[in-house]
Amino acid sequence: MVKARMTTADVAAEVKCLRRLIGMRLSNVYDITPKTYLFKLMNSSGITESGESEKVLLLMESGVRLHTTQYVRDKSTTPSGFTLKLRKHVRGKRLEDVRMLGYDRMILFQFGLGSNAHFIILELYAQGNIILTDSEYTVMTLLRSHRDDNKGLAIMSRHRYPVEACRTFERTDFTKLKDTLKLSNTVDGKESSQVTPSSADAQQPSECANDGVPATDKLEEPANRTGKKSAAKFKQSGSDAKASNCTQSNKATLKTLLGEALPYGPALAEHIILDAGLLPSTKVGKDPESSLDDHTIQSLVESVARFEDWLVDIISGQRIPEGYILMQNKMTAKKNVTPSEGSSTNQKVYDEYCPILLTQCNSREYDKFETFDDALDEFYSKIESQRVNQQHKAKEDSAVHRLNKIKLDQENRVHTLRKEADHCITMAELIEYNLENVDAAIKAVRVSLANGMSWEALARMIKDEKKAGNPVAGLIDKLSFEKNCITLLLSNNLDDMDEEEKTAPVEKVEVDLSLSAHANARRWYEMKKKQETKQEKTITAHEKAFKAAEKKTRLQLAQVFFLVE
């Protein structure tokens, strides 16, 4: 699955890249979607090759991402109320600082100094948020209001934003880490997971790196994946809970254990384990065979130290992090490539990004970028492009389907009219071939009605005559007194038929009693001409409608294609 959230390491690396924007002024703010905003920053020193002011577009998507972009995106024609509020208070001010709030996935942008300062805070965890505050951190406007009375948190307008609740970064206490790894099977799960000096404070509005769940929610979860199953037993008996914890620990892997002990998430935990030369799937238990020896623990401690050295260098050093984009494997990529993209045999499908090449990804294909910010821009822009292409393909398929439906409807209507015209010809030809019999049947019915016989009595008489073998009565199938018509059973080419073929079903032909056989045949030919005229008009009208629909569809597809380009 394509990576959709930034981890803590990602945020730290991106903030380091964005600090180059300090000193630029905010020229304008645009909203792309209700959760995505574009900040236009300008530098009046004129350092570009053309001598114009340097311009940088900073893109923020609540809960998802943050990076500068070189790609043009469609902006909303009418700015939202949130955008207007940002423009009112921040536009024209200089960017004075960009930093993470403590160690959480929250980025603070300071515009202006002193009492005139305003802060824009971007939250990249849970549902995300973008918040505008004054110099005292009082919230002036925000995308999403929420509160937690149990924890005393209220992220709402005219409330102070709790910046002091953010956890601060401190290196791992290796003594506690060693104790946790050694005693993970004999101590309580909560005690074994607290290896950083500020671990109690770490459960603030942040979370482990990859899962996108706030740590405030994780605090209420069991320390391991099977903890939910033993929650009821824990309430019933402390001894039962300890026994359950021991059973769960016997099933835990080294990756799970280290992921719970460190606040970096499962991906970085796996990287640390592999960097130490160990297997993440190693089972850890209290028996001697599956317990961790001192050499293994020391290797893990040294690997953690190497990663934290890199992280400290990113947060407070001078290092500008590089960027990596990892590709999907070929089998997965084939499933995700659209048909239009599948024509390229060397098509690359992006899977995830990272500021440090994780050990478990060494064997995968990747692209390297000079900065992590460049990698983010390329990754998300490519994903957006693929999404737009898919939407364009869906619209194109829908338009073609509509055209095909119109064309099919036209063909069905014409076919129906042509079939009716052919039916009229067949009826007329049957009457012409059976002129004498048709005139005889019409005359017999006329005489009976002229003698005062009712239609009901006439129907009974015809039935009796059929039984008696009267050939004229045998031609009559039905009487329609309301239309002054009768339906005859007629067949054609009887002279050319064999005896067996003469038993085949005959055609039912309706004739008007007020007309002769010749006149009835002529009436059917006139009906045929009307059907042909109607058919021509239908074809002409449908051709015009089809051309208009085709022109409209081409215009719509051209507009979509222009937006994609």
Tens of pLDDT, residue by residue over 391-432, are 778 888 888 888 888 888 888 888 888 888 888 988 888 888
What pLDDT, on the 0 to 100 scale, is given for residue 46? 58
| DSSP code at position 285 | -
Strand partners, 367: 325
- Does 216 fall in a domain? no
pLDDT at 499: 56
C-alpha span between 32 and 110 (Å, rounded): 22
Q: How many C-beta atoms surround the C-beta of residue 412 within 10 A? A: 10
Domain count, the chain: 2
Q: Identify the H or E element spanning 42.
A: strand 36-43
Residue 78 dihedral angles phi and psi, to the nearest 5°? -115, 115
Q: 187 lies in a domain?
A: no
Q: Flag whether 375 is in a domain.
A: no
pTM equals 0.63
Spell out the residues 6+ positions from residue 121 whose beta carbon is closer than 8 angstroms to its own: 101, 106, 107, 108, 109, 129, 130, 131, 133, 161
CATH number, domain of 61, equals 2.30.310.10
Spell out a b/e string for 356-377, using b for 16 or more CB atoms within 10 Å of the CB, else e: bbbbebeeeebeebebbbbbbb
Cβ pair 51, 114 in contact under 8 A:
no
Q: How many CA atoms lie within 13 A of 58 on its CB side?
A: 24
Amino acid at residue number 204: Q
Q: Up-side HSE of residue 479: CA atoms within 13 Å toward CB?
A: 20
Q: Point out the residues of the chain with pLDDT beneath 70.
A: 1, 45-52, 183-251, 286-290, 330-347, 493-505, 559-565
Q: Is 80 helix (H, G, I), strand (E, B) or coil?
A: coil
Residue 443 phi, psi dihedral angles, 5° rounding = -65, -40
Q: Is residue 317 part of a domain?
A: no
> Among residues 68, 56, 71, 65, which one has the least CA distance to residue 25?
56
**What is residue 209's predicted lDDT score, i.e. its pLDDT?**
36
Give the burial class of 170: count Cβ atoms within 10 A of its Cβ; 0-12 exposed, 13-18 middle, 19 or more buried.
middle
The whole-number pLDDT of residue 204 equals: 37
The pLDDT value recorded for residue 48 is 58
Smallest CA-to-CA distance from 263 within 218, 297, 222, 298 is with 218
Domain that holds residue 139: 8-165
DSSP state of 188: -
Q: Is 159 exposed, middle or buried (0-12, 13-18, 19+ CB in 10 A)?
A: middle
300: in domain: no
Q: What is the pLDDT of residues 505-535, one digit of tens each?
A: 678 889 998 889 899 999 999 998 888 888 8
- pLDDT at position 498: 56
374 in a structural domain:
no
Sequence-distant (6+) residues with CB within 8 A of 9 are 209, 264, 268, 311, 314, 354, 355, 356
Number of Cβ within 10 Å of residue 249's Cβ equals 23
What span, in angstroms and rounded, lies between the C-alpha atoms of 263 and 7?
A: 11
> Quick check: is 74 in a domain?
yes
Domain boundary among 165, 183, 217: 165
pLDDT of residue 76: 82
Last residue of a domain, one of 131, 165, 199: 165
Residue 465 lies in a domain: yes
Pair 107, 11: CB distance under 8 Å: yes
- Joined together, the tokens standing for residue 385 give 């492009």
Residue pair 189/108 in contact by the 8 Å Cβ criterion:
no
Triad 288, 292, 294: Cα angle to 5°: 110
The domain boundary residue, chosen from 149, 165, 181: 165
Distance from C-alpha of 337 to C-alpha of 314, rounded to nearest angstrom: 35
CB within 8 A of 389, min separation 6: which ones? 338, 340, 341, 564
Q: Which helix (H) or strand (E) holds 461?
A: helix 455-468
Give every CB contact of residue 226 below 8 A, 6+ residues apart in sequence: 248, 251
What string of H, E and C letters represents the secondary structure of 240-284?
A: HHHHHHHHHHHHCEHHHHHHHHCCCCHHHHHHHHHHCCCCCCCEC
The residue behind tokens 């990113």 is 314
